[in-house]
Amino acid sequence: MSVETAQSKARAMLVAGLDTSVREDLELIDRFDRYGHDLFEALFEVYDLSAIGSQLMTILIEAHRARPAELHQRDRQRILEPDWFQKPSTIGYVCYADLFAKNMSGIGKQVAYLEQLGVTYLHLMPVLKPRPGANDGGYAVMDYRALRDDLGSMDDLAALATKLHTSGISLTLDLVLNHVAREHEWAERARSGEKKYRDYFFVYPDRQVPDQFEQTLPEVFPDFAPGNFTWDDELSGWVWTTFNDYQWDVNWANPNVFCEYADIIANLANHGVDCLRLDAIAFIWKRLGTTCQGEAEVHAITQALRQFTRILAPSVIFKAEAIVGPAQVGAYFGEGKRAGKVSDVAYHNSLMVQIWAAIAAKDAQLLQHSLSRFTALPNTTAWGVYLRCHDDIGWAIDDADAHAVGLNGHMHRMFLADYFTGLFPGSDARGVDFQLDPASGERRTSGTSAALSGIQAALASKNAAHVNTAIARYLCAYAMVFGFGGIPLLYMGDEIGLLNDSTYLKDPTKADDSRWANRPPMKWAAAKRAMEPLEAGASLAVSTAHRIRAGITRLIETRVSLPALHAGVATRVWAGHGQGVVVFDRPHPAGHMVQIYNVADQSRWVSTDELGGLTGWVRDHVSGHEFDLGEGLPVAPYECRWLTPA
């Protein structure tokens, strides 16, 4: 069936199923007329349209009818403010619901805390019902229509969303769409022999096909989940499991799978979710002879899901979790005919890695070189910018980038893993190894921002000068996150510098996964104390949390006041003449802004020819001072300056 025929059949179904005298129904048809073509064109790339069109329209009509009036109103507001997530006022906060405040009602009680911090975007890490026991931090979902028992009900989720919305905070949830838990109903039914559900997965009777795929597939968890297939007695077959053996990859080539997820998205959107984080999106399409990441169909499917969502719930956006290289990440925002039609936000993994790498090397050349390879994004999208998340850091230094600045990729990755686990002489980082690759010796690193930046070691040494340096380094790194342009994502507890949590080692379902080191529970007493005036004689730990909170608050308040930080404009990055100086240049029509960061532990001089044409009187928004640039300016170790013409 052609795109045009499928589209006009679908439209006829919509008109027949809706009441054009009702405002919401008319609005839905308008949106179908606007985005329906992008929907069917993308579906056409992957599916037989006769198998999918009417099923999808039935889902759309039912979900539209179920959408609460207040969310229709939110849709209307966001149609008028499509750049809401690009604005400098957007401040993200990311947490596990239980580790932050126990459950939905507990989070409701902490909304005032988030508001006070300036948060306008809250990502609650997996809250949907996971399998019992080991569940990859909730990323093994067994029911997309229920919350984890101890977190509350779907009604509690909707009530929290309403409360957040009233406080100007948007809600993000994970949509784990590459795999389901082995205990999910689809998997249960596949095991009990229902062909329909067996076709939701990749099941092979013997090793022949799996072995062919394995030749080009990388391993995500070589340590605790080697291989990409798992033998299942009940299935009597090998099932595709990219991640853990209990996470079964679903087969997106099956149109029923597409429709299931469209329905799941609709249900989450109707509970007030504003943004869906597309977990491990790169992996959803498999092709023999490839790494099975980022295939063209991934982007066609995302475009189709995005347009379906846009028609149903235009206030909802997508965030891609695609931890891929500079050359691949642009496709998740949409390139060429897909520009702006895929995800609205994607994580800037390279920036995160390069910030840490620059700090370790005290040198910004590699950062500058690799970031200069990014092309401008569609100006309706934004980076998700972060220093840490709940996962490990893979030292994604590209070999060619390393070469270009006189380094060896492998040796530099080894250096970073050594540096951030404190093995490199002089390093004060306290990360933990994750997933050693026995072939190369390379490994990834877990740890909180405070552990990686030296705060943990400095506090342990009780050396006030060391603490000063570590705090400056920490805030310098976070200033890059808040200054880059895009949604800054503050990981829970980083506003007070939480240290590594080693209690996971005592829990057998977590002990082999060091990512739990960087998922400490919130320390509420410390968080509250950090907001009060500092008492004389406070301990080093208390004063450190206090200074971090004050520093982060200052960065947030400053960012919010600067129109030049709107994500619609791309940041240009260059290294200053002096080793260790990073310059972010934001040529925004609302005003030129130049940011300087010294990632080295020695002071530097930055001359005016490094400042993108900025001369004369400037205002440094970080210190609040105005001065004449003259020939240039000094920058102290780990100092940052956000300059605009005064």
Residues identified as active-site? 279, 321
Contact criterion met (CB below 8 Å) for 577 and 610? yes
Record the tokens describing residue 282, joined without a space: 């790169």
Instruction: Tell me the DSSP string of 506-556.
Output: G-TTTTT-GGGGG-PPP-HHHHHHTTSPPPTT--HHHHHHHHHHHHHHHHH
Q: Which long-range contacts (CB under 8 A, 24 or more apart) does 411-416 make?
A: 412/357, 412/361, 412/366, 413/442, 414/441, 414/442, 415/360, 415/361, 416/356, 416/357, 416/360, 416/445
Please give the Cα distance from 37 to 45 (Å, whole number).
13
Q: Does 416 bind ligand GLC (CB under 6 A)?
A: no
Buried-state track 357-388, b at ≥16 Cβ within 10 A, e below 16: bbbbbebbbbbbbbbeebeebbebbbbbbbbb
Query: Which H helix or E strand runs over 627?
Result: strand 625-628
Dihedrals φ, ψ of 359, to 5°?
A: -65, -45
Binding residue count for ligand GLC, defined by CB under 6 A: 10
CB of 518 to ligand GLC, least distance (A): 11
Q: Does 280 bind ligand GLC (CB under 6 A)?
A: yes
Record the tokens describing residue 576, joined without a space: 């200053």
136 vs 610, beta carbon nearer ligand GLC? 136
172 vs 571, beta carbon nearer ligand GLC? 172
**Stretch binding ligand GLC (CB under 6 A), from 132-140, 561-569, 589-597, 636-644:** 132-140
Q: Does 176 bind ligand GLC (CB under 6 A)?
A: yes
125 vs 358, beta carbon nearer ligand GLC? 125
CB of 234 to ligand GLC, least distance (A): 23
Apex 436 CA angle, 435 and 441, nearest 5: 155
Q: Does 139 bind ligand GLC (CB under 6 A)?
A: yes
Please give the Cα distance from 552 to 548 (Å, whole number).
6
CB of 242 to ligand GLC, least distance (A): 8
Q: Does 320 bind ligand GLC (CB under 6 A)?
A: no
**Stretch binding ligand GLC (CB under 6 A), from 131-139, 379-387, 409-417, 625-633:** 131-139
CB of 587 to ligand GLC, least distance (A): 34
156 vs 433, beta carbon nearer ligand GLC? 433
CB of 641 to ligand GLC, least distance (A): 34
Q: Does 243 bind ligand GLC (CB under 6 A)?
A: yes
CB of 136 to ligand GLC, least distance (A): 5
156 vs 321, beta carbon nearer ligand GLC? 321
**Stretch binding ligand GLC (CB under 6 A), from 47-55, 133-141, 290-298, 439-447:** 133-141
Contact criterion met (CB below 8 Å) for 469 and 76? no
Among 25, 279, 344, 363, binds ligand GLC (CB under 6 A): 279
96 vs 478, beta carbon nearer ligand GLC? 96
180 vs 371, beta carbon nearer ligand GLC? 180
Which residue's Cβ has the minimum distance to ligand GLC? 139
CB of 179 to ligand GLC, least distance (A): 7
Give Cα separations from 242 to 197, 216, 473 (angstroms).
Answer: 19, 13, 37
Q: Does 391 bind ligand GLC (CB under 6 A)?
A: yes
83 vs 219, beta carbon nearer ligand GLC? 219
Please give the Cα distance from 332 to 435 (Å, whole number).
26
User: How many CA atoms does the CB half-sphere of 214 hold within 13 Å?
Assistant: 15
136 vs 418, beta carbon nearer ligand GLC? 136
363 vs 392, beta carbon nearer ligand GLC? 392
Q: Does 274 bind ligand GLC (CB under 6 A)?
A: no
Apex 433 CA angle, 419 and 174, nearest 5: 115
Among 41, 136, 232, 401, binds ligand GLC (CB under 6 A): 136
**Dihedral sign from CA coordinates of 566, 568, 572, 573:** positive
- The helix/strand/coil state of 572 is strand
**Stretch binding ligand GLC (CB under 6 A), from 86-94, 134-142, 496-504, 617-625:** 134-142
CB of 283 to ligand GLC, least distance (A): 9
The length of the chain is 646
**Which segments of 98-165 are extended strands (E)?**
121-124, 128-130, 141-147
CB of 197 to ligand GLC, least distance (A): 21
75 vs 260, beta carbon nearer ligand GLC? 260
Q: Does 137 bind ligand GLC (CB under 6 A)?
A: yes
User: How many CA atoms does the CB half-sphere of 244 hold within 13 Å?
Assistant: 20
Please give the Cα distance from 183 to 568 (Å, whole number).
43
Provide the H-helix boundaries in 318-448: 326-329, 349-361, 365-371, 399-404, 409-420
Give Cα separations from 469 to 361, 453, 509, 639 (angstroms).
Answer: 16, 10, 37, 10
Q: Does 321 bind ligand GLC (CB under 6 A)?
A: yes
Residues 186-225 as x/- pattern, contact with ligand GLC by CB under 6 A: ----------------------------------------
Give Cα separations from 230 to 289, 421, 542, 565 (angstroms).
Answer: 20, 32, 48, 47
Please give the Cα distance from 600 to 615 (Å, whole number).
24
CB of 135 to ligand GLC, least distance (A): 10
Contact footprint for ligand GLC (CB under 6 A): 136-137, 139, 176, 243, 279-280, 321, 390-391
